Structure 1
Amino acid sequence: MILQKSIPYNPLEEVPLPGIKPMNLADWLRPDEAFAAQVAYRAELLSNSRDKVLMMHPDAQIAAQELLELVLDHRYDGARDHVILPDGTRVTLDWQQPLATLGQICQEDFCILERAEGSPEHVLTGAVLCFPASWTLAEKFMRPLVGVHDTVDSYDSKMASRVQRLFDGVQVGRPLWRFNALWYQSPELHAPRAEHDPRDQSHGEDAPYLRSEQQVILRLPKCRSVVFSIHTYMVHRDDVMAEWGQDVAAS
């Protein structure tokens, strides 16, 4: 069981969809107390279930390498050969496998979305997705934004247009972010669900764990592809209510 004790924003706040806010780039990729445990689990998944958690079209290689470079500059002082994780683990950087490398040095999952000339939407061309929440990478890979969200009830044509405008408009160095939050019976981080599998009806406000994703949209400066990063928090109900329950009661 891998849990955090706190979340750096109020996950119980009700925010109208899509709930997008500007983010200071310096606040991207902030590790928390679950870093070591989450990264170790990610390495295990990449070793044992690589075909389920990592997919990339060959044309996304340039974007993936640029993303790795950006992460290293931002998080690891511009390292290019290897990094030392906070627990002392040494990870050699494999520039031919940039997404797999990212999966071993960050808590975040990363999705690369690219819009080809003449295409109406961005397409998911690559991802390292170790901690899916009720979706599977294989079913979303190489699909446009509408296809990625086709099982989301609130993702209607109006919402699709708004999200596409966000992906078109996000500027280099000025990322955008949002969060989601849902109560879960299980604290399992790797929780895929196929599109045609029944929904888990056990979610509810009486469940013991709150799962919240901090989702960030940013543009790569060179190739101009869009990156969607996901930092997953799993927090016990007692800790959530101790930190944010008074805010909810007062609202």
Structure 2
Amino acid sequence: MTVRQPTHTPYDGSSKLFTIGLKPLEFDRWIEVDEFLLPHLAEKERLYAEMPEKVFVEEGGTRDAQREVLDLLVAHLAANHPHTHRGAGSDVEVAGLGNTTDRLPPALREAPLARASLLVQEDLILMRRDERGWRLAAGSLCFPSSWSLQEKFGKPLQHIHEPVPGFGPGTRPAELINRMFDGLQGQAVERFNWSIQADDRLYHPLSNIERVDRATNRPSRFPDGDVNAHAFIRVERQTLRKLPVSRDILFTIRIHLDPLKALDAHPDRAALAASFAQQLLALDQQQLDYKGLTADRDRLVEFLGGMAGSA
């Protein structure tokens, strides 16, 4: 059986955790489409149907900027992904789905950002500048990586990042991020984040209360000890681009899930496993608690060490 290779491997040392790590991005690589397009969109539809208030938020006065996002995505998808997205007048349709607007709850069908979200696998977050800095003004977040859209809605960046070790209000990284957002002009940038989870669910929310409880009690994600059977690598590919008209910033988040054991079939498995283990070992206690890896770090390192040593 052919094992699918991971699309991105930021744990190879190219993107270290708890760093900003922004890199230039060519516009033709902005949106990623793969064989999971239809199942990912189906999962978004399910979440919109079951819990729309948890996966979509918007401030009044953001619809024009939302429309700007939709127009940019339509143009990009038609030009760069014609095999999966087909032009339909001034819009595009996903091959195999047709018009996705009707798949939204009636209350959201006029929200351009919600409509845009059912064209792509990415989550879409609209950031707007005010006297406090860049705040979360609208968003479609169906695949959160341990955070809550409702809790972050309306907050500026420094408060959104408050739970992240070393990135809260008043820290140098928080100031740098705000300056980077201010300085973003016509270019696009990307960065990667990654973590480990014990299943293949895309929808992985975490409230602030749940985060504190996890950091306090430090539960294992693998109570049966079987990392090989249950561990998945969750990679976030994040992009930023400033919208040319509104000057808001669109933040996209694309989730890739790969079984940890898939690295065993990778041609560079020894180097990848060794680097992965080294990055886990480099995390301090606060960082381990934030990632929810305190109870499992040593077990994961041992598993990766065995993989590296058997190459």
* TM-score w.r.t. length of structure 1: 0.88
- Report the CA distance between 1:80 and its aligned residue: 5.3
In 2: Cα distance, 1:123 partner to 1:112 partner:
8
2:164 to 146, 152, 165: 152
Does the 8 Å contact 2:235/2:255 carry over to 1? yes
The 1:114–1:83 alpha-carbon spacing in structure 2 relative to 1, beyond 3 Å, is same
Alignment correspondent of 2:93: 84
Alignment correspondent of 1:28: 30
- Letter paired with 2:126: I
- Report the CA distance between 1:154 and its aligned residue: 2.9
Alignment correspondent of 1:5: 4
Alignment correspondent of 2:188: 175
Match of 2:113, SS state, is helix
Does the 8 Å contact 1:109/1:229 carry over to 2? yes
In 1: Cα distance, 2:72 partner to 2:263 partner:
32
In 2: Cα distance, 1:201 partner to 1:158 partner:
31
- Report the CA distance between 1:120 and its aligned residue: 4.1
- Report the CA distance between 1:18 and its aligned residue: 0.9
In 2: Cα distance, 1:98 partner to 1:7 partner:
32
In 2: Cα distance, 1:166 partner to 1:110 partner:
19
Does the 8 Å contact 2:129/2:248 carry over to 1? yes
2:246 to 199, 220, 223: 223
Alignment correspondent of 2:67: 65
Does the 8 Å contact 2:100/2:119 carry over to 1? yes
- Give the share of equivalent positions with the same residue, in percent: 27
Alignment correspondent of 1:96: 110
1:17-69 CA-partner distances (Å, limit 9, x unpaired): 11111110110112012111001110111122111100000122111110011
Higher-RCO chain (CA-CA 8 Å, sequence separation at least 6): 1
- Show structure 1 runs of 5+ residues with no match: none
In 1: Cα distance, 2:51 partner to 2:5 partner:
29
Does the 8 Å contact 1:112/1:126 carry over to 2? yes
Match of 2:11, SS state, is coil
Alignment correspondent of 2:198: 185
- Letter paired with 1:19: G
In 2: Cα distance, 1:154 partner to 1:115 partner:
23
1:96-124 CA-partner distances (Å, limit 9, x unpaired): 311211221110001000102xx141010
The 1:203–1:59 alpha-carbon spacing in structure 2 relative to 1, beyond 3 Å, is farther
- Show structure 2 runs of 5+ residues with no match: 80-86, 103-107, 276-311
Q: How many equivalent pairs are there? A: 245
- Report the CA distance between 1:250 and its aligned residue: 7.4
1:237 to 241, 251, 260: 260
- Letter paired with 2:71: E
Determine if the alignment matches structure 1 residue 41 to structure 2 residue 65: no
In 1: Cα distance, 2:155 partner to 2:129 partner:
11
**Aligned pairs (5 A) from 1:120-135:** 120-135=132-147
Does the 8 Å contact 2:234/2:255 carry over to 1? yes
Does the 8 Å contact 2:101/2:109 carry over to 1? no
Query: How much is the aligned-residue C-alpha RMSD, in angstroms?
Result: 2.4
- Report the CA distance between 1:165 and its aligned residue: 1.4
- Report the CA distance between 1:239 and its aligned residue: 2.0
Deviates more, 1:175-184 or 1:8-17: 8-17
Does the 8 Å contact 1:185/1:202 carry over to 2? no
- Letter paired with 1:167: F
In 1: Cα distance, 2:88 partner to 2:247 partner:
22
Does the 8 Å contact 2:128/2:136 carry over to 1? yes
In 1: Cα distance, 2:27 partner to 2:109 partner:
24
Alignment correspondent of 1:136: 148
Deviates more, 1:64-73 or 1:9-18: 9-18
* TM-score w.r.t. length of structure 2: 0.72
Greater percentage in helix: 2
